[in-house]
Amino acid sequence: MKEKITFLGIETSCDETAAAVIRENQNGTADILSNVVSSQIEEHKEFGGVVPELAARAHIENIEFIINRSLIESKISLKEIDGIAATAGPGLIVCLTVGLNIGKSIAAFSKKPFIGINHLEGHALSPGLENKIEFPYLLLLISGGHTQYLIVKDVNNYEQLGTTIDDALGEAFDKTAKMLNLGYPGGPNVEKYSKLGDKNFFKLPEPIINKAGCNLSFAGLKTAVLRESKKIDKNDKLKYNLAASFQNTINKILYKKTKVAIQFFKDKTKNKNVQLVIAGGVAANKSIRENLSKLAKEMNFKTIYPDIKFCGDNAAMIAWAGIKRFKKNLKNGINITAKSRWPLDEKAPYMKGPGLKL
Ligand code: KG4
Ligand code: ZN
């Protein structure tokens, strides 16, 4: 097999239209030949969240331009590319289909292999774009749709240790921003305004903090934010205090649950060199990074955080997952269809819905 594999990656699972050309280098990390992301913030701003039909339409309008740009910026031709990878799930079917179909078409007419990628695997392997990283590692995946602790044993080999039993962490940030009228996109705004407030002003709940292992829950916290937000109305100072208290409560929850997850990781892998990777959109949050770095010092483990541009949705991570799968001959080909649900650990119990016993 050729030494330096090059892939075109395509990502349209939610509200970012993205394409990237990535080449593996001799250090085992990636040369980012191009990484183009077009965000749809303006389309969804007035609705305060992603509207699937609008997102799909924007993908259709932009995708050809974005792919072309990524090829031009990479300064290589389609001929020099070894394969095409596009996100096949999980995500919004109407959105996924856009990137998936154009990826398959390019693969068919250029006679290149095609690989449909699990978006979560893209996030899980994303730190490898810049770091030479050994398996296994503990992954805290925090995004708009998912919140999980996983052991990343290898490409295509994941064990879920814990997950949210209700809202995803990004969702909790976005809803908090909406309740406090902090604007869209929510997560970055909550982080920004929380710096202006007193983090100890409101006492907010930390659901299931002392039970259920490293499973997480944010619904009760969200309800408490809603209750308090109704009382403070237009008082900006109190709004910032509530944002700061929310961020502080999230930090406390992640601190305690990560401690449990680290112990599970040690017990299961018998590995002494513990590495914690945080990936996904919420991993861009600096306060969360600092908080977990503090824990890392106390418990003597290493933290690896992807660069901010690789935390939110991007196609570099999809191309990278494509290269990794291609090299291991884990190809699924042109028949793969879009999937709204696609867990990394298929054996993990489904943790949502009524009747859940903790
Ligand atoms: O990974 P991502 O781009 O898309 C999904 O796969 O879901 O994650 C998006 C989520 C959104 O909920 C967004 O508000 C959140 O990541 N996010 C943040 C920050 N930047 C993005 N949450 C907290 N602090 C941030 N700085
Ligand atoms: Zn994502």
Question: What's phi and psi for 313, nearest 5 deg?
Answer: -65, 135
Cα–ligand 1 centroid distance for 146 (angstroms): 10
Cα–ligand 2 centroid distance for 24 (angstroms): 22
Quote the pLDDT of residue 355: 57
Q: Pairing state of beta strands 30-39 and 83-89?
A: unpaired
- Indicate whether residue 145 lines ligand 1 (CB < 6 A): yes
Query: Of the ligands numbered here, which is closest to the C-alpha atom of 287?
Result: 1
Query: Which is more confidently placed, 174 or 48?
Result: 174
pLDDT higher than 80, residue 46: no
Query: Of the ligands numbered here, which is closest to the C-alpha atom of 187?
Result: 1
Range 55-66 average pLDDT: 94
Residues 6+ apart with CB under 8 A from 10: 18, 19, 63, 67, 84, 85, 86, 87, 99, 100, 102, 103, 315, 318
pLDDT higher than 70, residue 354: no
Using one digit for the tens of pLDDT, what is the confidence trace for 90-109? 999 999 999 999 999 999 99
pLDDT higher than 90, residue 50: no
270 HSE (CA, 13 A, CB side): 0
Using one digit for the tens of pLDDT, what is the confidence trace for 110-149? 999 999 999 999 999 999 999 999 999 999 999 999 999 9
Give the containing element (helix H, strand E) for 237: helix 236-269
pTM of the model: 0.95
pLDDT higher than 90, residue 234: no
pLDDT higher than 80, residue 215: yes
Q: Pairing state of beta strands 302-304 and 275-279?
A: parallel
Atom in ligand 1 nearest the alpha carbon of residue 169: 12
C-alpha dihedral sign at 289, 295, 297, 299: negative
pLDDT higher than 90, residue 349: no
- Ligand 1 pocket test target in 87, 143, 254 with most atoms within 8 Å of CB: 143
Using one digit for the tens of pLDDT, what is the confidence trace for 295-324? 999 999 999 999 999 999 999 999 999 999
Quote the pLDDT of residue 48: 74
